[in-house]
Structure 1
């Protein structure tokens, strides 16, 4: 179990990455880390306010947007949520200013400013959660793109809760998705091995594959988000950097511009801009970065797909997805298989009833791993320590204090009422199913037979 969670965490400490990875890559993870740190904002991958706060071990204050404040008061609990942090109480850092006011991280500023037009945040209450971790924490963040092995084990452990028909539907669908996109998946591996190619057809083919393999949408989005945050030279980005922060507004604008309905359900599995659309999206955000985006996407997505999808004992030059058998897929690309199964199970009509079976088990493992590693404040590391940080609700030595907070005209928060509330190691109910746009799901369900 620990090996899977080690694989899913990235250490932003002084040592270079030592994760096992497939052979045959044109650039290793350490090579990429060096390249990323040499970008205009690459120093923030190490010299980062969030990492400094974790290393200090002093109390940290986070902004958390709470729903149903009356229910929180009555239960005395803040529940953890799934998503990029698996089983943490989601938040963003706050910085104390003279006089007691708290300055939100730029991600927190976005969270507060979006409450009126995002369904997921409408009516939420700003809460300040103070976490006294009791000791310094490591600079290790969770990269949700690397959770494939965790998802695969959960499916194998609990597939007995599926009916025979559901099991057949899930496994057949996963195999069909791989066979349908095999040419693109093979191209990703060849590119990761160093094969050159043109950017336009690559990006267009990637975009066309996303509806069939939504995991690719996540990899694609994180690559563009990383490119924007690390290469931006805009004044707002420089101001964020002065605070030791990566500029989260860049990828938030990217997501909401790229995908209709993101305000209802933030689903990166629908991120699929083709080449022309990618140039337009990046150009709207920072015109000088548009021209370089496709080449970056081609190289970065290929590398990330290979390292997050294949087993470490594979060679990217030898693997092909053409007519791959389920057994060979499980051996060659178990992490990809896990990601595919994870998303396929979520499409079942019964998933709201099965949600806690699959997700609570992963959360329990996450809490166990975090506690053995001394991680009280896990953070999303998919693009570096950008500001998405959560509370480990099962941290044994941590102490918590929670307040309601008022937002002033300067965008600063002021704690108001201390609540008799603590984070609890339980997951919030599944609320996503009624919000999904099922257009692509129905199209896939009604697909023509896919040759084996």
Structure 2
């Protein structure tokens, strides 16, 4: 694959935000172009907090001049300081130092509500879980200078759009597996997809044809399919998180909206209320709230949302995301009962889905976990190359601008300073000690991240 091909794939994996949210002309030929435009209007104009999709504190910081102030939380500061190097992690920000925004004030640095949750609730819960009470989460303040050439547009990487890239990388690295292993992997992926046809066909019918279905039936079928297609757990999580953040009208949500912030505590509480074991082990492939208990879960997390409306919304939204993110762009899978269940043929219509499944399967497949680090490192190299071409210093999670933001570790002449910080009684952070740390453009091995629940992991590496 040459640079132009990779550039196009990575451009398609990013969400380009602007003040109008008008689809680009190239999308007019896509079968889902009309639905995409309708969803953009619906989310931005027809929800209580939709204005935050166009104007928010994260966007203000990224489009401004001067310096960015970001919070990174780690449990491994002693080990990091010993070597003097801070490595980025994979996850939803591909290959970044995972951070959340800070706002400078006369009283210190005010944390974005995402940052406050990670520092004060999620990180302590992880410490408690691993039984290491002496390991106090350390807040680090990053000051990143934005040079004049830095891109001022609003472009976020959407990890749900990485399926085609995962498939492309595997085709380059598949010979790390034996012939028998390659055959077994292909057969496993095809089998998972073939046995999930009922859900895929239903989602396609809803997205492309406007088919009507009882939300209860849809969510039950989704629940049954997630174990076979674990990427659906990620899609479900993002759709439910999006719904909560856009539709909540609680006083806390309104207060945070006045600051230009989506209320991240909603989906965090929803996640850990339904799956408390995920504290410190962020595995969205296993996210599948029981359909029969969804109403109770929503009421526990946010009593201001209507469960009936939420179920109908999730049915439509998840169907659209499946078609838009998991089917090959421009393809409309039809006549499912005539499908030839062979890997090469399926990749024509369902390439992104196969890529996501392969990316997940390889973590535990045969000998490949020994090589998995290089798979994600290869992906990070491509992302860094694209970001540097675009002069993107601080990529953010573009599924929805929650507040998840990273530092591009490969940016040439990256200008930054790092301090250890302390939190005062009012919740503000104050720098206490400047640290001589170097950000290195090399991923931390997945076995040292929370995704593998290693007791010496860096909690901030667990982003999705």
Query: After TM superposition, is the score higher than 0.5?
Result: yes
User: Which residue does the alignment assign to 1:357?
Assistant: 374
CA deviation profile, 1:426-445 (whole Å, cap 9, x unmatched): 11122257549xxxxxxxxx
Give runs of aligned pairs for residues 202-241 of structure 1, distance below 5 A.
202-241=218-257
- 1: CA distance, partners of 2:278 / 2:23: 33
Question: Equivalent of 1:314, from 326, 331, 334?
Answer: 331
Question: Equivalent of 1:162, from 165, 177, 182?
Answer: 177
Query: In 2, are the aligned partners of 1:183 and 1:322 still within 8 Å (CA)?
Result: no
- 2: CA distance, partners of 1:434 / 1:9: 27
Question: Equivalent of 1:417, from 430, 433, 436?
Answer: 433
Question: Equivalent of 1:42, from 29, 40, 50?
Answer: 50
- 2: CA distance, partners of 1:263 / 1:336: 27
- 1: CA distance, partners of 2:164 / 2:342: 19
| Residue 48 to residue 317, structure 1, CA distance change in 2 (3 Å) | farther
| Residue 260 to residue 172, structure 1, CA distance change in 2 (3 Å) | farther
Given the alignment of the two structures, is residue 32 of structure 1 paired with residue 39 of structure 2, yes or no? Answer: yes
User: Which residue does the alignment assign to 1:375?
Assistant: 392
| Residue 245 to residue 360, structure 1, CA distance change in 2 (3 Å) | same
- 2: CA distance, partners of 1:397 / 1:434: 32
- 2: CA distance, partners of 1:224 / 1:189: 19
Given the alignment of the two structures, is residue 199 of structure 1 paired with residue 206 of structure 2, yes or no? Answer: no
CA deviation profile, 1:406-440 (whole Å, cap 9, x unmatched): 1112111110111111321111122257549xxxx
Given the alignment of the two structures, is residue 133 of structure 1 paired with residue 146 of structure 2, yes or no? Answer: yes
Q: Which deviates further from its counterpart, 11-20 or 42-51?
A: 11-20
Gaps of 5+ in 1: 437-452
Query: In 2, are the aligned partners of 1:306 and 1:316 still within 8 Å (CA)?
Result: no
Question: Equivalent of 1:178, from 193, 204, 208?
Answer: 193
Q: CA deviation at 1:381?
A: 1.4
Q: CA deviation at 1:321?
A: 8.4
Query: In 2, are the aligned partners of 1:218 and 1:269 still within 8 Å (CA)?
Result: yes
User: Which residue does the alignment assign to 2:126?
Assistant: 118
Given the alignment of the two structures, is residue 259 of structure 1 paired with residue 275 of structure 2, yes or no? Answer: yes
Query: In 1, are the aligned partners of 2:27 and 2:33 still within 8 Å (CA)?
Result: no
User: Which residue does the alignment assign to 1:334?
Assistant: 351
In structure 1, the residue corresponding to 2:446 is in which secondary structure? coil
User: Which residue does the alignment assign to 2:22?
Assistant: 16
Query: In 1, are the aligned partners of 2:253 and 2:263 still within 8 Å (CA)?
Result: yes
- 1: CA distance, partners of 2:289 / 2:412: 44
Given the alignment of the two structures, is residue 402 of structure 1 paired with residue 418 of structure 2, yes or no? Answer: yes
Query: In 1, are the aligned partners of 2:394 and 2:407 still within 8 Å (CA)?
Result: yes
Q: CA deviation at 1:323?
A: 5.3
Given the alignment of the two structures, is residue 150 of structure 1 paired with residue 165 of structure 2, yes or no? Answer: yes
CA deviation profile, 1:118-138 (whole Å, cap 9, x unmatched): 259964311001111213532
Structure showing the higher helix proportion among its residues: 2
User: Which residue does the alignment assign to 1:244?
Assistant: 260
Given the alignment of the two structures, is residue 109 of structure 1 paired with residue 109 of structure 2, yes or no? Answer: no
Q: CA deviation at 1:27?
A: 4.4
In structure 2, the residue corresponding to 1:137 is in which secondary structure? coil
Q: CA deviation at 1:322?
A: 5.2
Q: CA deviation at 1:42?
A: 0.5
User: Which residue does the alignment assign to 2:361?
Assistant: 344
In structure 1, the residue corresponding to 2:395 is in which secondary structure? coil
Would you say how many aligned residue pairs link Structure 1 and Structure 2? 434
- 1: CA distance, partners of 2:303 / 2:340: 42
| Residue 97 to residue 345, structure 1, CA distance change in 2 (3 Å) | same
Given the alignment of the two structures, is residue 88 of structure 1 paired with residue 118 of structure 2, yes or no? Answer: no
- 2: CA distance, partners of 1:352 / 1:63: 31
CA deviation profile, 1:250-297 (whole Å, cap 9, x unmatched): 010111122241114111111112432222211212224222111111
Query: In 2, are the aligned partners of 1:151 and 1:341 still within 8 Å (CA)?
Result: yes
CA deviation profile, 1:279-323 (whole Å, cap 9, x unmatched): 221121222422211111110000000010112231255667855
- 2: CA distance, partners of 1:374 / 1:319: 43
Query: In 2, are the aligned partners of 1:94 and 1:102 still within 8 Å (CA)?
Result: yes
CA deviation profile, 1:347-396 (whole Å, cap 9, x unmatched): 225344212220111101101111111211000111x1110000001112
Given the alignment of the two structures, is residue 69 of structure 1 paired with residue 77 of structure 2, yes or no? Answer: yes
- 1: CA distance, partners of 2:282 / 2:28: 30
Query: In 1, are the aligned partners of 2:157 and 2:398 still within 8 Å (CA)?
Result: yes
- 2: CA distance, partners of 1:41 / 1:335: 31
- 1: CA distance, partners of 2:142 / 2:338: 47
- TM-score (ref. length: structure 2): 0.89
Query: How much is the aligned-residue C-alpha RMSD, in angstroms?
Result: 2.1
| Residue 422 to residue 26, structure 1, CA distance change in 2 (3 Å) | closer
User: Which residue does the alignment assign to 1:277?
Assistant: 293
User: Which residue does the alignment assign to 2:3?
Assistant: none
Query: In 1, are the aligned partners of 2:89 and 2:96 still within 8 Å (CA)?
Result: yes
- 1: CA distance, partners of 2:252 / 2:280: 27
User: Which residue does the alignment assign to 1:450?
Assistant: none
User: Which residue does the alignment assign to 1:295?
Assistant: 312
